[in-house]
Structure 1
Amino acid sequence: MTKSILIINRAGPYADGRAKAALDMALSAAVFEQQVMLLYTGDAVFQLVQNQQADLIHRKSPSAALSALPLYGVEKVYVDQAALISRGLEEQALAVEAEILNSNEMSNLLESADVAFAL
């Protein structure tokens, strides 16, 4: 039985291990043919910024894992519009194709998911 799984990313890319854990969870669920949706809100929107120079802080950029999402069948990536605006980011700065959602649309997304995880 396929479930729709919403993984809500709230942490910045290098603050702790939550960004990596969210991607690992998404890829693992996708391997088992679950419908995986990713929502980036708060500082997590910085995970999606292209051309990050993570090697300067001796960390891995999330770009490699993000580029693998379609290979695993994860095609639904959503971004909190207010988080982008408050951090001075535009959709063109993102390394992946994502649908920008307002607060009402995010509420609807959360209600539509069978399971939701917030990291």
Structure 2
Amino acid sequence: MKVAFIFTHPPYGSSKVREGLDALLAMSAYCDENEIAVFFWNDGILSLLKQQQADAVLQKDTAAMSKLLMLYEIEQCFVCEEDLKRYQCSKEALSLPVVVLDNENFFKRLQQAEKILTF
């Protein structure tokens, strides 16, 4: 994997998630889909939750991100098992098909990237 995008911020309150998604989609024009991996860590997994009520805070629903990632055929998406436990979420509660990794394997996988962009 050449590039890893790691989303660490909650979906609302800043533009980090939207900026990261824009960068990710732009990068997909220059790389094969197997050269890009997306990691959701810490508060970043909140961007993937289904049934968000973004309109209550006058924002766009970040769960729609999953549709774009699938459209661009970006399939290497990872979440940390410990974060799912911390937020009491299941893999089924997420809007994107992800690979759930324990903490150690999550960071081992992340270290395989040549470049890491954090949002």
Structure 1 residue 61 displacement after superposition: 0.6
Aligned partners of 2:83, 2:64: CA distance in 1, in Å? 23
Matched residue of 2:108: which SS?
A: helix
| Deviation >4 Å, runs of 4+ | none
Task: Give, as a single letter, the amino acid of the residue that structure 1 aligns with 2:45.
Answer: V
Of stretches 26-35 and 92-101 in structure 1, the one that deviates more from structure 2 is 26-35
Q: Which residue of 2 aligns with 1:20?
A: 18
d(CA) in 2 for partners of 1:107, 1:60: 30
Q: Could you tell me which residue of structure 1 aligns to residue 84 of structure 2?
A: 84
TM-score by length of 1: 0.91
Could you tell me the percent identity over the aligned residues?
A: 21
Name stretches of at least 5 consecutive residues in structure 2 with no aligned partner. Answer: none
Q: How does 1:90-109 map to 2 (within 5 A)?
A: 90-109=90-109
Residue range with higher mean Cα deviation, 43-52 or 105-114: 105-114
| SS of alignment partner, residue 69 of structure 1 | helix
Which residue of structure 2 aligns with residue 49 of structure 1? 49
Q: What's the C-alpha RMSD, in Å, of the aligned pairs?
A: 1.3
Q: Secondary structure at the match of 2:37?
A: strand
The normalised TM-score by structure 2 is 0.91
Tell me the SS of whatever aligns to 2:25.
helix
Q: What is the aligned length?
A: 117
Task: Work out the CA distance in 2 between the residues paired with 1:118 and 1:18.
Answer: 9
The question of 1:111 aligning with 2:111 is answered yes
What letter matches 2:7 in structure 1?
A: N
1:77 is displaced (CA, Å) by 0.7
Equivalent residue number for residue 65 of structure 1: 65
65-74 vs 43-52, greater mean Cα deviation: 65-74
Aligned residue identity for 1:17: S
The answer to whether the Cα contact below 8 Å between 1:77 and 1:97 also exists between their aligned partners in 2 is yes
CA distance in 1, matches of 2:84, 2:74: 21
Deviations 1:62-119 (A, max 9, x none): 1223211122121111011111101111111000100011111112112211111122
